Structure 1
Amino acid sequence: MRLLGTRPSPFTSKVRMAAVICGFELDLVPTDTAEEGATLVGTNPIGKIPALVLDDGSSLYDSRVICEWLDRSSGNLLIPQILAEWSQAKRIEALADGMTEAAMLTLYEVRYRPEDKRHQPWVDKQWRRAHRSLDALEHEVRSLGETPNLAHIAVASDLGWLDLRFSNELRDRHASLARWMDHFFAAHPELAAHRPAA
């Protein structure tokens, strides 16, 4: 199977870690979303990554959908099936991904909008969203067990991206999460190999 994505993308990272847990090998196809190339939009009309091309030629997109597919195809090795544990894993995934989406919007504001067009109150709002999410994650990760599941890889991939793009926001303001991430990757080198990277 081929995974259209990029090494820095936290959502690509999450899928790659999920594939390791579920026992799948994915061939990463580096994909530039800015170009909206034929391969990408032919696989995912939305033009976003990650997108997974299955062996039969069909495709799946959005990291949450791909992770669900990997989990179901592996006999539920990734997502807990007991309701309380499922709720925790999915809540943490949504919280971690939401934090990253907010922080990404601030990056895009700086990267793609001319300085005289930037709206600082909007940027500040996104950072408030991100930091509220990080505060909540500091409490959530304390309850995670040792065996990696969807919650672990969502937090690890999203924190890995934050560390890559805004290291001071993570390591200065949320040091306990940085320590959790460092410990997680040290304990699981097979997953650390797929953390977001430049």
Structure 2
Amino acid sequence: MRLFSSSASPFAAKVRMAARHVGIPIETLAADTGAEPADLLAANPLGKIPALLLDDGDILFDSAVICDYLDRRSGHRLVPQDEAGWLQVKRLEAAADGVGDAAILSLYEVRYRPEDKRHQPWVDKQMRRAFRGLDFLEAHVGALGPEPTTAHFAIAGLLGWLNLRFEGQWEDGRPHLVAWLAGFADAFPAYEELKPRL
């Protein structure tokens, strides 16, 4: 299997960590979404990463869908199958993904728009969403158990990306998330290799 990815993406990092945890080998293919390469667009018409090319030629995209596929392939080693456990993991995974979506949109406003075209109220709205989501994760991350799930990998990918793009801007008032990431990195040594990086 081959994964269209970028080294910095929190969503691609989530998939890379999940695959490593369950022992499913994935070859990563660097993709520059800004350039809209033809091979990426053939894999994902939305032009977004990650996108996974299966060995049979089928295609999956969106990190949550890819991780659900890895969960099924691994005998449900990534998501609990009891209702309460499933709800907790999927809720926290969705919150982490939503924080990432909002923060990335605010970053892109600065990165891709000329200064005179930027709309600061829109950026502020995205960051309010991101910070509310982080506050939700701060309040609930302690409920995650020690066995890694897609929620663990989504949160770890997100926080690793925030450390790249918003270091010093997200940590205040969120000691549980800061401590959780340090503990996760100790418990999952592959994090250092697979986390978002420039």
TM-score, normalised to structure 2, is 0.96
Structure 1 position 30, deviation (Å): 0.5
- Helix, strand or coil at the partner of 2:45: coil
| Per-residue deviation, 1:170 | 2.4
RMSD: 1.1
Residue 189 of structure 1 is matched in structure 2 by 189
Give a deviation string over 1:58-86, Cα, whole Å, max 9, x none.
Answer: 21111111001111011101011000000
Q: Which amino acid aligns with 2:182?
A: D
1:98-117 equivalences in 2 (<5 Å): 98-117=98-117
Aligned length: 198
Gap regions ≥5 residues in structure 1: none
Deviations 1:166-185 (A, max 9, x none): 01122345343122112211
Match of 1:154 in 2: 154
Q: Residue 65 of structure 1 aligns to which amino acid in structure 2?
A: V
Q: Distance in 2 between matches of 1:173 and 1:28?
A: 36
Which structure 2 residues correspond to residues 118-129 of structure 1 after superposition, within 5 A?
118-129=118-129
Q: Distance in 1 between matches of 2:101 and 2:169?
A: 15
Residues 83-128 of structure 1, C-alpha deviations (whole Å, 9 max, x = no match): 0000000000111111111111110010011111111111111111
Of 68-77 and 166-175, more deviation after overlay is shown by 166-175
Runs of 4 or more off by more than 3 Å in structure 1? none
Which residue pairs with 1:87 in the alignment? 87
Equivalent position of 2:43 in the other structure: 43
Q: What's 2:136 paired with?
A: 136
Structure 1 stretch 50-59 or stretch 173-182: which is displaced more? 173-182
Amino acid at match of 2:174: H
Q: Give the Cα–Cα distance (whole angstroms) in 2 for the partners of residues 168 and 42 of structure 1.
A: 38
Separation in 1, partners of 2:91, 2:113: 32
Shift of 1:193: 1.9
In 1, Cα distance between equivalents of 2:180 and 2:146: 12
Query: TM-score, normalised on structure 1?
Result: 0.96
